[in-house]
Amino acid sequence: MNRDWIENMKETKRLKLSFWQTVSHYFIVVFFLLIPIFTLISVFEIYVTKTYDGVRSTGELLRFSLPWILPAIAFLFIQRYRLRFKKILIDYTDEEFKEAVQRTSKELEWTIDKNNKTYLRANRPWNWTGSWGEMITIIRLKDGLLTNSICDPDKWTSVVSYGWNRKNIRTFLKNLNEVKDGTPLKNVVEIPENEWSLKRITIRLLMYPLSAIIIAAGLFAIYNSTLRGTIAGIAGISFVSIWIYADIKMIIKQK
């Protein structure tokens, strides 16, 4: 990140991404819009080019695409919200900051990409925890820190970190406060988060029915649609299958 990017993020309190990182971060929105986009192409072919060779009417096409627009809008706001920085008011020295980074790197297996007097950029790797990894950004201010952690946009697209985004920042701040208080480094034994907590159950109650709907719609598109619909159906089934696999893997691992 250059100086202009840092100043922009300080001013906007929002994480700035490269073009391809932005594509990866918002890919879930594009994914849900595939069916509506193909629908608009078909409507264009019906009324403008007169080249439509499908069997559905305009009304049927629009009714089929509507359920895909709602989650696209929801994820647009969710992904945009995740780019916000949270400001933490705290006093610290360079030595305290570096020590906190070292402790957190050891505890969470961070890989440090950049750590200077302006900002920290680190990545946590994938380790069968349901998240493909996260990108952590901490900008240093005179009166505190700007903190952000998102699913790593340089890796496989993911929209669920299974609590790791919050844990990355919370663990660093805990270590920074312990360094400031003179608390010696302790051997940390990680206790896995309960896979049947209220939060996890709520997520599954929302995601599994949505996944079933997407799979059903994908199968319907494959067997009853054009080539474009078939491609979108396969993409939808593949996307939710990866999430289901990762979730089941987490449950089995804890058992």
With helix as H, strand as E and coil as C, how does 143-191 read? CEEEEEEEECCCCCCCCCCCCHHHHHHHHHHHHHHHHHHCCCCCCCCCC
Q: What is d(CA 251, CA 253) in angstroms, rounded to the nearest whole number?
A: 5
Angle 210-215-218 from CA coordinates, rounded to 5°: 125
pLDDT digits (tens, 9 = 90+) for 142-159: 999 999 999 999 987 777
Band (193; pLDDT cuts 50, 70, 90): low
pLDDT at 170 over 60: yes
**Is 0.75 surpassed by the pTM of this model?**
no
CATH number of this structure's domain 85-181: 3.30.310.80
Residue closest to 173 by CA, chosen among 90, 94, 116: 90
CA-CA distance, 243 to 206, in Å (whole number)? 13
pLDDT score for 187:
56
Domain layout of the chain by residue ranges: 18-82, 85-181, 194-255
